[in-house]
Structure 1
Amino acid sequence: MPIHTERHIRVICVGAGASGLLFAYKLQRSFSNFDLVIYEKNEQVGGTWWENKYPGCACDVPSHNYTWSFEPKLDWSGTYASSKEIFNYFDSFTDKYALRHYCRMRQQVVSAVWSTEDHGYHVKVRDLNTNKEIDDFCDILINAGGILNSWRWPAIPGLDSYKGTLVHTANWDESIVLDGKRVGLIGNGSSGIQVLPAILPQVKEVTTFIREPTWVSPIPGLEQHVFTAEEKEAFATRAGLLTQYRKDIERGMSGTFGVFLKNTQNQQGTREYMTKQMRDKLSGTNLEGVLIPEWSVGCRRITPGVGYLESLGAENVKVVYGNVDSVTPRGCVSGGREYPVDVLICATGFDTTFRPRFPIIGPKGNNLQDDWKNEPQSYFGIAAAGIPNYLMFLGPNSPVGNGPVLSAVEAQADYMMKLIDRYQTTNIASFSPQPDAVADFIAYKNRFMDGTVWSDGCQSWYKAGRPDGPVTALWPGSTLHYIEAMNEVRLEDWETTYSGNRFDWLGNGYSQTECDETADWAYYIRGEDDGEYHSRGKKRRIATKSGTVKADAGSFQVFPKI
């Protein structure tokens, strides 16, 4: 065989949400001689955007930028799109690029065990339709299961004794009738903030239980806006308008990173702006003192909160500040008082520990679930020491709250493609990050986090709910910083084993070019040097079109209008 022969590989991907679908697209676009199967526990693709159907469910990222960089959508309804619109985007993406044939629906991966002999994973999959298990095998295992998909009930005594209608936002029952009902709402995170204004016109009364303060305000220039038919038409017909609009928003989101650094002008300016916005909207409610945090903006995820603060002052809203101590058959008890409700909505979030949802057993018999029991420690958010040929999307310390997240997902997918290319065209048997490299990365990350607002004493899923815990969810830098860090595979950080001599991939002495009679066998003879640049700096300046954009004078980002 000639050098760099593409051997056949089999890949299993867990999850057909946004990340899993992007992985399939990227693999299909660049590779041949592979088998890919995506096992998905739901009956539809789309992941969290198919699962979450609660009233008001939407994304807190501007809709035109909650897309893949190369796949714009012309007709979003507004600045913040509903979960149904976002699901339709990813569902259409699946059909446009013929990705559905890779997907096996209602199939849940229940275990993956590394075989040193076979240099791959023996995977057990449960058919959720029949409850029968099947065995599969892959050379490379991809976990695209996501973060916000394992919902949980709150640990409140007596919850199972409640006699009314009990529902979790992430497992919403669309047959629930709210009209004229007394509703209890537990939680004021992103889901609870979206639910309240959405159900307010229907219900008789809402008692919302708020445990702690949180920052709620759109960033300047990114208030909710419903796009008119004329604006949608302009996006579709005016060359370059939509691309420029998306670029301006993306630049703005990337330009907010200074907000997350302590004692910066961005942090101070954002705090002053959001404090004023919240005070204005809470005027007359006497809630400013309990809802406006003392900790820094960004310690917890910021939410635009469209209509939320205004809803707290409505006549049919009762705000109870403090923990729900217990649940009775009739309702909730807080501060010694019972609040009867007909429907109890738990907007209480997900298991965000990053531990895999199923056992992943490495070559030494180690289970990644146990390895990450106390603290998840990944290599750049995509791999784990001691677990070969295993890659993940949005693992620990990925930039999930540092800027535009889908751009980071694309960077992860591209990095995976580089690793897979090297695996397929050489005789690599296994690859995994070195334990020392992971330890050094975690040490660097921890030092960096000391200078960020994420280390403030707020209770956040960024720190697995522990106010004083290590920041396990976020990247130590901006999203643009992450994209540059992920641009090149640092093989010196990876442990690699080979089948046979490490240079067996050199083959029979022939090149791939000589095996292609339609190729130019003298392709390197040119009239001028049009080859790639070799310094990282030169390549970055070319890729980013350095010198073509006017630098912003201010440090507090105001986003563009169309």
Structure 2
Amino acid sequence: MASLDKPTVSYSQFACIGSGFSAIGLGATLKRWYGITDIRFFDRHADLGGTWHINTYPGCACDVPSILYSFSFAPNPKWTRVLASSAELWAYLRAVADDYDLPSKMTFGADVVRCEWLQASGRWRLHIRRLADGSLFQHESQFLFSGTGALVKPRHPDMPGIDSFRGPVFHAARWRSDVDLRGKRVALIGNGCTAAQIVPNIVDQTAHLTQFSRSKHWIIPPIDVPSPTTIQWLFKHVPGFMLLVRFIVFLLCENDLRGFYMSKAGAKYRTGSEARAVRYIRKTAPAKYHDLLIPDFEIGCKRRIFDPGYLQALHKPNISLSDNPIAQVLPDAIRTEDGTTTQADVIVLANGYATNQFMSGIEVVGRDGVTLEQHWSSFDGPEAYNSCALNEFPNFFMILGPNTATGHTSTVMAAENCINFALRLIKPILDGEATTVEVKPGAELQYSQQLQRDLSKTVWWGGCHSWYNKGGPDGTRWNAMTYPHSQAHFWYSCLFPTYGDWKYTPTPDATRRRFMRRTRKTAWWLGLVVSVVGITLTVRSRGLDWAGEYLPSTA
């Protein structure tokens, strides 16, 4: 391990942890808005893409229409399916990153272990470990952004004896392509979206696939179909057509928000949605599994699953579904609490991620030595003002921080809004009028408390156990994952920041700079008004023929 004594310290104006959608959106928007290219990205993985680089399991795809699950400034007319695969999403991200020359600013195999605010210099210092050799180096920046995402760390399996299993055991998020499933007895743990995508894509390879269901989920009819070449042509050649379709898809997705509120209208919407889902499950899945599949909680309490062919795959002769709790993992089998022993050669874990955690594995130290964990200990869980900023952490923003996930639409829109919000707030610093910006403690507290009150009026506070909520030892409940309002509401709050909620550290000549900027703006508008008035008066007095005096003669 290299020593931290006299390390090499590099610098960039902006630093970002991660290289997925959030990071690429930040780099592109900095260049689009301000022409700034002085940014460095640090990622522990071997390539860019974040979630869509890591997740390569069979059938991996997005569950939001790709026309919406993409940047507003980089529309892609070439999507081949309604729900894009992980490979297609990665290719899209790579293309956007290349367009803005971002890969050259990325350092891979770099694990950020600590970030600390240096009050004296007004900079963030990152301590980074090179995974190749374990050596450490430091990097400093004026602004620090986190683009680490919310679903990063696979959940550790809570199954006794798992370490005794002799065959391969791996999480779906770390899929092992070197493990050949052909002719193997495979045990798949989990029944969420990931498992639903994996089952139809591996069942035909296996000698037998046993799925151990840990909970139920609402499975609804599929929407994924190939994108016709005609539509792709229209997207590319008809101005405004793709934007119109994106807006329509946005409205259709936002319509589902009605079902999340605990109101009479919300209950009615959920009742109709549940009835349609039950009919679909009973029609598509084997009758023997209906009781194992149909939930006993309201739809929306967990994220819904667009059926990727999962229910039809349950008809295969070499698959079985069980909801018996696992009692113990044996060296070559799994034993459930009812005494049944299922032989297995491979165990695949699709049991989700550790949630309600942000910047996991990174020690973040803000002003006066306050850590991120210490800051959140004054609350009941992770939170952030407008989902991206914290008091005691100057010039620091989390993209897709606490409460930015949705149960119905695209998180890419939320990421863009977070980025735009932060870049608006730091504009006075970029203009030389201030050195730091930090949300006021009262504003953060009021925002977080109101958000939890709003969440308590949604179906996410219902009777199901989901990754959205985290229970405290005293019985309290905290939701650090979902946003209780529409994306239009979030967009508006990011478009017009409440600057009174923020504290800036002014530069010595801030007043002069502000005066000069306002003077130039006033002069510009005054000149425009004078020009318009002058032209108007001239036209009224001399008519439109006056311009002919100044045009060259055609004779």
- TM-score, normalisation: structure 2: 0.87
- Give, in whole Å, the separation in 2 of the partners of 1:41 and 1:253: 34
Structure 1 pair 77–508 and aligned structure 2 pair: CA distance change class (3 A): closer
Mapping for residues 292-311 of structure 1, pairs under 5 Å: 292-311=294-313
Q: Letter of the 2:201 partner, please give it.
A: A
Mapping for residues 25-64 of structure 1, pairs under 5 Å: 25-32=28-35, 35-64=38-67
Match of 1:527 in 2: 532
Match of 2:502 in 1: 494
Match of 2:114 in 1: 111
Q: Does 1:436 align with 2:436?
A: no
The SS at the match of 1:286 is helix
Structure 1 pair 433–248 and aligned structure 2 pair: CA distance change class (3 A): same
Q: Point out where structure 2 has 5 or more consecutive residues left out of the alignment.
A: 1-10, 535-555
The SS at the match of 1:131 is coil
The SS at the match of 2:200 is helix
- Give, in whole Å, the separation in 2 of the partners of 1:455 and 1:510: 48
Q: Does 1:366 align with 2:370?
A: yes
Match of 2:325 in 1: 323
Shifted more, 95-104 versus 461-470: the winner is 461-470
- Give, in whole Å, the separation in 1 of the partners of 2:357 and 2:235: 39
Q: Point out where structure 1 has 5 or more consecutive residues left out of the alignment.
A: 1-7, 530-562
Mapping for residues 19-98 of structure 1, pairs under 5 Å: 19-32=22-35, 35-98=38-101
The SS at the match of 2:406 is coil
Structure 1 pair 176–512 and aligned structure 2 pair: CA distance change class (3 A): farther
- Give, in whole Å, the separation in 2 of the partners of 1:504 and 1:469: 49
Match of 2:477 in 1: 469
Q: Letter of the 1:490 partner, please give it.
A: T
The Cα offsets for residues 281-303 of structure 1, whole Å up to 9 and x where unpaired, read as: 22x43222232112211111112
Which residue among 142, 161, 174 is the counterpart of 1:158?
161
The SS at the match of 1:461 is coil
Contact 2:27 2:100 in 1 (8 A): no
- Give, in whole Å, the separation in 1 of the partners of 2:203 and 2:505: 60
Structure of higher CA gyration radius: 2
Mapping for residues 144-183 of structure 1, pairs under 5 Å: 144-183=147-186
Contact 2:64 2:409 in 1 (8 A): no
The Cα offsets for residues 204-229 of structure 1, whole Å up to 9 and x where unpaired, read as: 111000011111114xxx62212344
The SS at the match of 1:258 is helix
Structure 1 pair 193–498 and aligned structure 2 pair: CA distance change class (3 A): same
Contact 1:9 1:34 in 2 (8 A): no
| Cα offset, 1:380, TM superposition | 1.3
Structure 1 pair 237–188 and aligned structure 2 pair: CA distance change class (3 A): same
Match of 1:130 in 2: 133
Match of 1:389 in 2: 395
The SS at the match of 1:19 is helix
Contact 1:397 1:472 in 2 (8 A): yes
The SS at the match of 1:287 is helix
The SS at the match of 2:56 is coil
**Cα RMSD, aligned residues only:** 2.6
Shifted more, 461-470 versus 151-160: the winner is 461-470
Shifted more, 430-439 versus 374-383: the winner is 430-439
Structure 1 pair 246–214 and aligned structure 2 pair: CA distance change class (3 A): same
The SS at the match of 1:376 is coil
- Give, in whole Å, the separation in 1 of the partners of 2:261 and 2:88: 34
In terms of fraction of residues, the more helix-rich structure is 2
The Cα offsets for residues 121-145 of structure 1, whole Å up to 9 and x where unpaired, read as: 1211122223211111111110011
Q: Does 1:196 align with 2:199?
A: yes
Match of 1:353 in 2: 356
Q: Letter of the 2:325 partner, please give it.
A: N
Match of 2:549 in 1: none
The Cα offsets for residues 26-84 of structure 1, whole Å up to 9 and x where unpaired, read as: 00112246621111211211101011000111100112221112322222222222101
| Cα offset, 1:524, TM superposition | 4.7
- Give, in whole Å, the separation in 2 of the partners of 1:451 and 1:400: 15
Match of 2:340 in 1: 337
Contact 2:12 2:140 in 1 (8 A): no
Identify which of structures 1 and 2 has the higher relative contact order when contacts are C-alpha pairs closer than 8 Å and 6+ apart: 1
Contact 1:186 1:210 in 2 (8 A): yes
Q: Percent identity?
A: 26
The SS at the match of 1:37 is strand
Structure 1 pair 414–33 and aligned structure 2 pair: CA distance change class (3 A): closer
Match of 1:550 in 2: none
The SS at the match of 1:325 is strand
The Cα offsets for residues 65-106 of structure 1, whole Å up to 9 and x where unpaired, read as: 211123222222222221011100101111122222221222
| Cα offset, 1:371, TM superposition | 3.1
Q: Letter of the 2:477 partner, please give it.
A: G
Q: Does 1:419 align with 2:419?
A: no
| Cα offset, 1:360, TM superposition | 0.7
Match of 1:291 in 2: 293
The SS at the match of 1:522 is helix
- Give, in whole Å, the separation in 1 of the partners of 2:193 and 2:517: 59
Contact 2:159 2:326 in 1 (8 A): yes
Contact 1:183 1:341 in 2 (8 A): yes
Structure 1 pair 78–111 and aligned structure 2 pair: CA distance change class (3 A): same
The Cα offsets for residues 400-447 of structure 1, whole Å up to 9 and x where unpaired, read as: 334222112111111111012122114323222222212212221222
| Cα offset, 1:328, TM superposition | 1.2
- TM-score, normalisation: structure 1: 0.86
Structure 1 pair 20–465 and aligned structure 2 pair: CA distance change class (3 A): farther
Structure 1 pair 19–242 and aligned structure 2 pair: CA distance change class (3 A): same
- Give, in whole Å, the separation in 2 of the partners of 1:300 and 1:509: 50
